[in-house]
Amino acid sequence: MPSNKSVSDAPIVQFTNCRILRDHQLQREDLWVREGKILNPEKLFFDEKGSADVQLDCKDSIIAPGFIDVQINGGFGVDFSLATDDFKSGIDLVSQKILSHGVTSFCPTLVTSPPSVYHQVLPQISVRNGGAHGAGILGAHLEGPFISKEKKGAHPEHCLRTFEAGAFQDLLATYGSLDCVQIVTLAPEMRRSSEVIQELTKRGICVSLGHSVANLSQAEEAVQHGATFITHLFNAMLPFHHRDPGIVGLLTSDKIPAGRRVFYGMISDGIHTNPAALRIAHRAHPKGLVLVTDAIAGMGLAPGRHTLGQQVVEIDGLNTYIAGTKTLSGSVATMDTCVRHFQEATGCSVEMALEAASLHPAQLLGIEHKKGTLNYDSDADFLMLNDNLYVQATYIAGEEVWRQDASSM
């Protein structure tokens, strides 16, 4: 057998008998992995004269990139918006548990909170790679407090803020630090929001529009200043109106700067968005659709009372409400459930459903060169799924980090 030692001593693993999601279609190919990266087999054969050290039969599974959740507030009793002494162990628990949902990277999300909470929590969130310990952390998503009172949803009104003179300094003072921040959700109709959007974008932070009463021209102006995302489309924004479609109108706007794509999050849990609305969005702008769970601490727990930041929420089946009201407050759906529901509700291809949870969020964050695809040299974060899109195994950097127990299949 030809040696592959000339380039690296690391073992080469060949995944056989599988359908790989690559270039927007499922292809009957083998997947080659070495040192946590996807290998180009042609280079291996012809340049290195190498071959596989280990072969794994995937038994006709689908192999797809790992899911990326850019809006998750917690789960399994852990609330990312609560400042606790053991916050680190909480985030570790969630990152471990979501491996079974196919999530290999995520953005822990904080809802509107007092400055003291941001000052305590944000220094405890650090960007890190995934592994057997859990999904990778891409940086925090700060949803609020610079949002609209009219569309606050489950966010506590007493913590909402507006931009005063020196708006960006005000934001910095509120959060304390932007070191580990990946996304900030704000309402673009607020005075001085344009300068804040420009400053955040300059620092490589993704600006998302949400919890807002913005009209379409205000939303378009925000995009022209650098905003690239819409937080949970249709939820916590003005409903579509034919004379002024509001933020929803960004999906078909002709005022988006050339070469820029606007992405939008969808909570595809069958509760937050009617399947018809999901279909409308998907058909209007399929390449911008990003599946998010918007999961709260109650995900993975029994019905009852749980927290979301400063609020108490009640879980009743898949419905979650601010206690004593009918205000929806995040979801308890898992990412793999959202993918299956999206595919069923829209009738889209399996490939499109999988890319909405992997490629699209990676493109949103500008990390598609290493995450969200199975292109050569990208990170070997991937899933094995059956034809019904149930996750059978999760891999990070080419290592198996979770597998479905055969007895429960």
Separation between Cα atoms, residue 215 and residue 148, nearest integer Å: 13
154 is in an annotated binding site: yes
d(CA 238, CA 247): 8
The annotation status of 128 as a binding-site residue, yes or no, is no
CB-based contact 364:205 (threshold 8 Å): no
> Is 236 within any annotated ligand binding site?
yes
* 328 labeled binding residue: yes
Burial class (CB in 10 A: 0-12, 13-18, 19+), 160: middle
Q: Is residue 261 part of an annotated ligand binding site? A: no
95 annotated binding-site participant: no
85-100: b (≥16 Cβ within 10 Å) or e: eebeebbebbbbbbbb
| 24 annotated as a binding-site residue | no
- Cα separation of 219 and 225, whole Å? 10
Report whether 232 belongs to an annotated binding site.
yes
Side-chain half-sphere CA neighbours of 217 within 13 A:
1
Question: How far is it, in rounded angstroms, from Cα 178 to Cα 172?
Answer: 7
Measured distance CA(251)–CA(209) in Å, rounded? 13
Task: Please give the full DSSP string across 156-217, using - where no structure is assigned.
Answer: -GGG-----SSHHHHHHHHHS--TTEEEEEE-TTSTTHHHHHHHHHHTTPEEEE-SB---HH
Annotation says 254 is catalytic: no
- Among residues 69, 269, 294, 379, the one annotated as catalytic is 294
143 is in an annotated binding site: yes
Those residues whose C-beta lies under 8 Å from the C-beta of residue 191, and which sit 6 or more positions away, are 162, 163
Owner of token pair 């001085």: 192
Catalytic residue numbers? 294
Which residues are known binding-site members for substrate? 154, 235-236, 243, 272, 328-330
Residue list, annotated binding site for Zn(2+): 143, 211, 232
Q: Binding-site residues, please? A: 143, 154, 211, 232, 235-236, 243, 272, 328-330
